[in-house]
Chain A
């Protein structure tokens, strides 16, 4: 019984909930309209450790042929701890040729970063990457 209660408590932790994309999260809901978000196809690459959260390189790739019939429509980037959780949205199309985006983000502390991709067939895919940030961005006085 105790173990069961412990496990239920674990599942209720916000961190554990974010490990999987919650389709009911209002930020994700805006994009998916309640559709299922499956893990896979998307890859988020972040360094394992950042000394400073002010500028962290990020690479998002989606496994897609990027043809007229099968392409990535958009990529949505979410942070677990930033005050503005929806960090960026990127809109692509078959003219992109390759579904890969590189950018630099600000991160307010060690956290998980999630990318959700919308494909032309209406399916949604996601991936999550964890990062340890020694000095966080955004909220510091400087």
Chain B
């Protein structure tokens, strides 16, 4: 699962930074049928979490009510240089993670 994560490479201490996460995922609702009429099993990303140097700063429980290729934008306070670690898991147990460094001055 490919993901695109956007956050500033550097920030001032205490600055509120914008974090954009876009994950490539069908977010299959479980209400659609395939060509032969079988129901397609639900497969959505349940949990998306963001840790900043090991501390969870954001978490989202998503459902089929979130559009395909889920996009979430949130904010966090830049307090120390380090890493933002993103982690997500879908109904089929597929896990994804991504790391993004941030330089705090």
Main secondary structure of the interface of B (DSSP, over half): strand
Which of B27, B31, B65, B76 is the one whose CB lies under 8 Å from A79?
B65
CB distance from B103 to the nearest CB of A (A): 18
A87 vs B74: C-alpha distance when bound (angstroms): 17
Q: Does B96 contact A (CB under 8 A)?
A: no
Are A84's CB and B68's CB within 8 A?
A: no
CB distance from B8 to the nearest CB of A (A): 13
A10 vs B31: C-alpha distance when bound (angstroms): 32
- Asked whether A54 and B57 contact (CB < 8 A) given A95-B76, A101-B74, A139-B31, the answer is no
CB distance from A42 to the nearest CB of B (A): 15
A95 vs B71: C-alpha distance when bound (angstroms): 21
* B-contact bits for A6-32, CB 8 A (1 contact / 0 none): 000000000000000000000000000
Within residues 79 to 98 of chain A, which ones have a CB less than 8 A from any CB in chain B?
Answer: 79, 82-93, 95-98
A56 vs B66: C-alpha distance when bound (angstroms): 9
Are A54's CB and B67's CB within 8 A?
A: yes
Chain A residues with Cβ under 8 A from B71's Cβ?
102-104
CB distance from A85 to the nearest CB of B (A): 8
* A-contact bits for B51-77, CB 8 A (1 contact / 0 none): 010010111111111111011111111
Q: Does A38 contact B (CB under 8 A)?
A: no
Which of A87, A90, A100 is the one whose CB lies under 8 Å from B63?
A87
Q: Does B16 contact A (CB under 8 A)?
A: yes
A93 vs B71: C-alpha distance when bound (angstroms): 20
A139 vs B33: C-alpha distance when bound (angstroms): 10
The 3 closest A-B pairs by CB, nearest first: A87-B65, A97-B16, A102-B73
In addition to A90-B58, A103-B67, 17 A-B residue pairs with Cβ atoms within 8 Å of each other are A54-B67, A82-B65, A84-B65, A90-B61, A91-B58, A96-B77, A97-B16, A97-B76, A100-B74, A102-B73, A104-B67, A105-B66, A105-B67, A106-B64, A106-B65, A106-B66, A139-B31
**A-B contacts, 5 listed (Cβ < 8 Å):** A84-B63, A90-B59, A91-B59, A103-B73, A138-B31
Query: Could you list which residues of chain A lie within 8 angstroms of chain B, going by C-beta atoms?
Result: 54-56, 77, 79, 82-93, 95-98, 100-107, 137-142
